[in-house]
Structure 1
Amino acid sequence: MKLKSTGSFLRPNVRAALVYGPDGGQVHEVLDSLTVVVVPDRKDPFRVSELTAAHVLADPAKLAEEAAALSLTGGQRVVRIRDAGDSLAGILGNFLAAPGGETLVLVAAGDLGKASKLRRLFEEAVNAVALPCYLDDAGTLESILHDTLQRFGLKAEPAAVTWLIDRLGGDRLQSRRELEKLALYVHGAAVVTLADAMACVGDSADLTLEHLALAVADGPPAKADRLYARLLLEGTGPVVIVRALIRHFQRLHLASSLMARGHSAEQAMAALKPPPFFKVKERFRKQVLAWPQERLAAALDLLTQTEIDCKSTGMPDQAVCGRTVLQLARRHNGARAGG
C-alpha cells in the first residue's frame, strides 16, 4: 500500500516498508524516524541490523535469517537494507509472502518509477508500505529552515529566509547541515540576518546552483554543461536544478521590467529581494542588459515546460534538463545580438 506520511504506517500487520525517492538525505531521515519508532536507539547493535542490497543478493537467505533472529536484550528488531533496487524484488517478495519472526524490515532506495518491480511489490502487498520522498519545494524548505534554526533558539529575517531557500534543496540532510553550520556561525545572536546567510552559506562552496544559473545566462554552453554534470554527480536532482534556473530568470525578468519602466540597472537590482550578492552583481547586471524581455519570457516558458516534462513524460529527467541547459546557454548569443 502507498502512504503519504509516516504517522499511520506501523499497523500490526506491516512487516516491511520501502522508503524511496531522489532526495537521499530525506530517505535517510525518514528511515531513521521509522527505526526509532521500534528501537529508540537506532544504533543498538542487538536490535538494529544494517545490510546492503549487495549483501542480500550475495546471500538471499541472509534476510530471512536476520528477520527471524531474536534480540539478546529483548524487544522487536529492525533490519535496514540500503541501496535497494528492482534486483531485490524477488527476494523481498518471498519474504513478504511468508515472513518469519517479528522483525520490521526497512528498505531504502533511490528514485523508482511507476514501473519499478520493487515499488509495485510494496504498493500492492497487504503487509508492506511504500513511502515516497519527493524533492522539497520552497514551502517545505522554509519549514525545515525555521524548525532547524528554532532548535538553536534562532529566527531568520525575511531577506535571509529568501536567500537561504534559493540555495538549499536537492538533499534534505545536506540542507540541515548547512543550517546547523549557520547556527554555529551566528552563535550568541537571536536573529540570522541576510549578511549572516551570505557570509556562511553563499560562499560555502564553489559549486552551487547559482553558479550554474549564472553560467547558463552568461552563455558559454561548455561551461554550463560542465557545471550541470558536476551538480548531477553531487546528487542534485534535475527538478531542483530547473527550479533554480527558473528563479534566476525570474529575477532577470523582474529587473528588466523595472528598467523598461525607467529604473537604472542599479535601482532595478536593488529592488530585488534579496539583491544580487556583491560578488556576482556585475555579472547579473550584464545579463539583464544582454537578455531582452521577450527572450527572458521565452526562457521561462521553456523552463516551466522542462519541469513538467521531468515529472510527467517518463523521459530521462537528466537528459531533459541537460538539453534545456544547453538550449538556454546557446540562446545567450542571440539575446546579446537582439539587445
Structure 2
Amino acid sequence: MKLISSNIQSLFGNKPLPQLILIYGPEEAEVNVSKQKIIKFLQKSEAEEIEVINIPYAAVRENPIALRDEMASLSLLNNKRVIVVTDAAATISKELTEVIKRSKGSSTVIFIAGDLSKSSSMRKFFEEEINILAIACYKPDQMRLKKMVREYLDKEGFKYQNEIVDTIVEILPANEHIIRNELNKLSIYLGQQKQIAYEDIINAIGANAEISLDDLCAALVAGNVNQVQKYLNSLQSADVNFMLIIRVLANFLVKVIKLKGLIEGGKDLEQAIFSLKPPVFFKQKDNLITAAKKLSLDQALSMFKTMVDIELKCKKGLAQPEVILNQELSLNIRQNT
C-alpha cells in the first residue's frame, strides 16, 4: 500500500497503523518529519513513553533473524516499541521479506530510505503488500506550506497580512519541521504582541545568519564590491536563504529612504533615527547613520529598485539567486560610485 506524505494525517484515525512501514524519498527532512508524526501518533499522550530502537539496515540485511527477535521482544518498562531501520537500501532479499512477514510481536517497524526508483525491490515489496505501507516523501508545495503557516498563526491568535505568510514561506526552506520551529521562535519573540509586521519576521527569523546580515548592508553602503562578494559567499556557505538576504537588504534601504525623507522634512539625523518605527538598535543604527550621510535619496531609491528587480528575476528562475544577487549588486555599486 502506498501513501504520499502530504496525506499522512489520513492514517491517524481509529484504525491501527500497519506494523511495517517504509518511509522513503529524496527529501530527507520530509522523511524525518513523517517518522516523527508516526511516533507521536503511537505515543497517544505526552505521559506515555515510546521506546525507539535504531538498527542500521546493513545489520538487518546480514542477519534478518536479529530483526525478527527484536520485533518479538518486549520492553522491560512495558513501553510501546518502535524499531527504526536506518539507511535502507533499494533492494531487499527474499529471506528478509519472509522473516518480516512471519514475525510476531507488537513492535512497529519503520524502514527509512532515500530516493527509490519504481524498480526498487524494497519499494515494490512495501507498496504491493496489502497489510504494510510505503510512504513517499516529496518536497511540500507552497500552497500546503502556506496553509500550515496560516493555521499556526490563527491558532496562536496573531493578526497578519497575506504578505507575511508569503514572506515566511519564501525565505525558509520547504521543510515543515524547520518552518514550525521558526514559527515557534517568532511567537516567543513577539510575546504578548499579536500584530505581526514584516520587521518582526526579519528580526525573529533573520537573526539566524552565522555571518551578520548587517555586515552585508554596511559593505553595500560603503560601495565595497569585494566585501559584498565576501559576505555573500559567507552567507551562502552558512546556508542562509537568498530570498531572506534580498528582503533584508530591501528592508534596510526602505529605512534609509524613510530616514532621508525625515531629514528633508526638517528633522536632524538623531531625531530622524529616533522617529523610525519599529525602533532600530546597535549595529543597524550605525549602518543607517552611515547610509544617511553617504547616500543621496536618488541613490537609495536606485538601490532599492535594484533589489526589487533582483527579487523578480529570482522568482522567474532566470539564474541561480546567488548569481543574480552578486552580479546585480556589483553592477549597482559601480553605477553609484
Q: What TM-score does the superposition give when structure 1 sets the normalisation length?
A: 0.59
Structure 1 residue 87: deviation in Å?
A: 6.2
Question: For 1:133 and 1:283, how far apart are their aligned partners in 2?
Answer: 44
**Distance in 1 between the 2:67 and 2:29 partners?**
25
Indicate the residue corresponding to 1:162 in structure 2.
166
In structure 2, give the amino acid aligned to 1:162: D
1:289–1:152 distance in 2 versus 1, CA, 3 Å: closer
Q: Which residue of 2 aligns with 1:3?
A: 3
C-alpha root-mean-square deviation of aligned residues, in Å? Answer: 5.1
Instruction: Quote the residue 2:261 is aligned against.
Output: none
Task: Return closer, same or farther for 1:28/1:290 CA change in 2, 3 Å cut-off.
Answer: closer
132, 141, 148: which one pairs with 2:136? 132
- Contact 1:185–1:200 (CA<8 Å) still a contact in 2? yes
Tell me what 2:52 maps to.
Answer: 49
Q: How many Å separate the matches in 1 of 2:236 and 2:85?
A: 27
Contact 1:221 1:329 in 2 (8 A): no
What residue ranges of structure 1 are gaps of 5+ in the alignment?
212-217, 235-240, 253-265, 268-277, 304-323
Secondary structure at the aligned position of 1:149 is classed as helix
Given candidates 200, 204, 211, the residue that maps to 2:208 is 204
1:68 paired with 2:72, answer yes
1:100 aligns with 2:119: no
Q: Do the aligned residues in 2 keep the contact of 1:19 with 1:108 (CA within 8 Å)?
A: yes
Contact 1:68 1:102 in 2 (8 A): yes
- Report the Cα offset of residue 8 of structure 1: 4.5
Structure 2 length normalisation: TM-score? 0.60
Shift of residue 183 of structure 1? 0.2
8 Å CA contact 2:314–2:324 kept in 1: the answer is no
Give the alignment of 1:1-339 within 5 angstroms.
1-4=1-4, 5-9=7-11, 14-40=18-44, 48-53=51-56, 56=60, 60-71=64-75, 77-81=80-84, 83-86=86-89, 89-90=92-93, 93-206=97-210, 231=239, 285-286=302-303, 300=316, 302=318
| Distance change in 2, residues 1:106/1:60 (3 Å) | same
The alpha-carbon deviation at position 292 of structure 1 amounts to 9.1
Deviation at 1:180, TM superposition (A): 0.4
* Residue aligned with 1:161, SS: helix
Match of 2:295 in 1: none
Over residues 179-232 of structure 1, what are the superposed CA-to-partner deviations in whole Å (9 max), with x where a residue is unaligned? 101100111112222121121112321479xx9xxxxxx99999878866653x
How far residue 50 of structure 1 moved from its aligned partner, in angstroms, is 1.8
Conserved in 1, the CA contact under 8 Å of 2:61 and 2:96? no
Residue 176 of structure 1: CA displacement? 1.2
Q: Deviations over 1:226-260 (max 9, x none)?
A: 866653xx9xxxxxx8xx77x97xxx9xxxxxxxx
- Contact 1:207/1:227 (<8 A) preserved: yes
Matched residue pairs, number? 282
Deviations 1:24-77 (A, max 9, x none): 4433332232224333258966x53321325545754332112112345668x4
Q: CA 1:153–1:22 in 2, change beyond 3 Å: closer, same or farther?
A: farther
CA 1:200–1:285: 2 relative to 1, 3 Å: farther
What's the CA shift for 1:140?
1.9
Report the Cα distance in structure 1 between the residues aligned to 2:300 and 2:24, rounded to whole angstroms. Answer: 39
Decide whether aligned partners of structure 1 residues 329 and 92 sit closer, same or farther in structure 2, where only a CA change above 3 A counts: farther
Residue number in structure 2 paired with 1:259? none
**Could you tell me the percent identity over the aligned residues?**
21
Q: Please give the secondary structure, in 2, of the residue aligned with 1:136.
A: coil
- Deviation at residue 18 of structure 1 after TM alignment: 1.6
Q: Counterparts of 1:43 and 1:19 in 2: how far apart (Å)?
A: 26
